[in-house]
Amino acid sequence: MEEYRISHDGILQAARHLISGTSTQFIPGETYISPHGAIIDGDDVQTLVDCSLGMWYTEGRFAKKFSQQLRLYLENRMRSVTLCNSGSSATLLAVSAMTAKEFGERRLLPGDEVITTAVGFPTTVNAVVQNHAIPVFVDVELRTYVPTIDTIEEAVIEGKTKAVVLAHTLGNPFPVQEIKDLCSEYNLFLLEDTCDGLGGTYNDRQLGTWGDFATLSFYPAHHLCAGEGGAVLSNSPMIQKVMDSFRDWGRGCWCKPGSDNTCGKRFEYCWENLPKGYDHKYVYERLGYNLKMTDLQAALLSSQINKLPDFVAKRRYNFMYFDELMQEFDDWFILPKATRHSEPSWFGYPITLKSYACSFGRKELIDFLTEHKVGTRLMFAGNLINQPAYKDVDYRIHKDLYNSDIVQDYTFWLGVWPGLDEEHYEYIGSVFRKFLKDKK
C-alpha cells in the first residue's frame, strides 16, 4: 500500500507540474488568442489518476457520480442521464429514441417532419435525416441567431410534424418555454440541444430542463471538458430505457457493464424465433449502436463540474466586457443580444458584418485578425442546405432562409471561454480599431 501511495503521489505531482508549466504570459501580437479552450487543473488530473489506478475503464463509479452531480446542478428537474461518447451521438440517441414503438402514434416514422433551423451544427440535423424523417428548415433572427415562436408555429403541419429539434445557438436560448408549450399543444417531441448552453437560463430555469430530451457535449470547446463525451437528459423512465437500449447495441437487457441478472430472470424470458430461456443479455430489441462513455471521461467530468459555476460566470463576464468594447464599432457590425427572459451561458461572441455599410468582406477582416493572432470561427455550417452533404437530402423550407444566408456570408464569432481575460479583449479591440481606421 505504501508503494501504491508513493506512485500515486508521484504521478499527481508530475501532472500538477506539467499543468502549471503550460501557462504562458500573454504577449500582444505574439500569443495566439484561441476562440475556445479547456481549463484543466490538478484536481481534474488527480481524479483521472484515481480512476486509472482503479483499473475499471468502462462506465462505472465515476459515471454514476457525475450523473448524480449533473442532476443536482440542474436542480433535479431531469431524472435521467444517459452518458455517451459525444454530443453528436447524444442527438442521434435522442432522435432515434423518438422512433421507438413504445411511443405509439406519437413515434417518429419515415417521412414525418421535424422542425429545425438551417443555422447550426450539422449533427443536430443529421440524426433527423438518418432516421428517414424530413427536416423542415426555418429562418433565424439576426443578433439572437435563433428562430421566433411565431416562425416555429407557422411551420407546424398537424399530423405530419412530429418533433422540434433546436439548439441554443452559441449559448443564446431559443424561446424554449413558448416552444415547449407549443409542443405540448400539438403533442410534439421537443429536443433541446444544449451543447453550447450549459449553465444558461430561460425565465430563471436552467437550459436542458425544458425538453422531452436535452443534449450536452463535453468536447474541449464546451463548458465542461472530457476530451470527448456527451449526455442525453430526460424526465421519463420510458425514454431513458429506450435511449439506453439504443446506446448499448440495441439490447433489451438493462444490466450495467460487469453486472449480470439484475432482473433475476435472465434465462426465463421468451421471444418469438429464439429458443426458450435465451440469455436476456444477448437479446436485441432494436437496431442500436455502441455509444457509451468511458469512466475516465466521467471521472474528469466529475471534477470539472465542481468548477462549472465559475466557468459560467467567467463566460458571462467575458461576453459583457467584450460587448461593451465592441459598441465602438456598431456602425460596421450587427452585434449580438440575448433573447428576452434569458441569461445565457455564452459559448462565443457572434459578429455579423453590415454588408451595406462595409467596404470590406468577412474574409478580409478574418485574415487581418488571423495575421494578428486573433482566432475566429464561422457560425458552424452557415446555411446547411448549401453544404455539399445536403445536396441530395429531402427537406422542406418554411418561407425563406434570408437571414440564414446572411449568417453564411457575413457572420463569425470570437471566444469568451474562461481562459481569456480583459487584456486579451483590449488587444482584440485594438486590432479591430487598426483594421477599421481607414475604412469607410
Instruction: Give me 350's grid cell.
Output: 457572434
Q: Alpha-carbon dihedral of residues 248, 249, 251, 256, nearest 10 degrees?
A: -30
Taking Cα atoms as reference points, which of 137, 190, 147, 138 lies closest to residue 172? 147
Could you give the count of Cα atoms lying within 13 Å of 67 in the half-sphere of its Cβ? 19
Taking Cα atoms as reference points, which of 299, 377, 345, 346 lies closest to residue 40? 299
Instruction: Give me 174's grid cell.
Output: 431559443
Q: Which member of 8, 17, 168, 222 is catalytic?
A: 222
Instruction: Give me 85's grid cell.
Output: 461518447
Measure the CA–CA gap between 438 and 440, rounded to whole angstroms: 7
Tally the residues of the chain: 440
Instruction: Give me 293's grid cell.
Output: 462513455
Measure the CA–CA gap between 228 and 397, rounded to whole angstroms: 33
Taking Cα atoms as reference points, which of 335, 346, 376 lies closest to residue 33? 376
Asked about 222 being catalytic, the answer comes back as yes
- Give the catalytic positions in this structure: 222
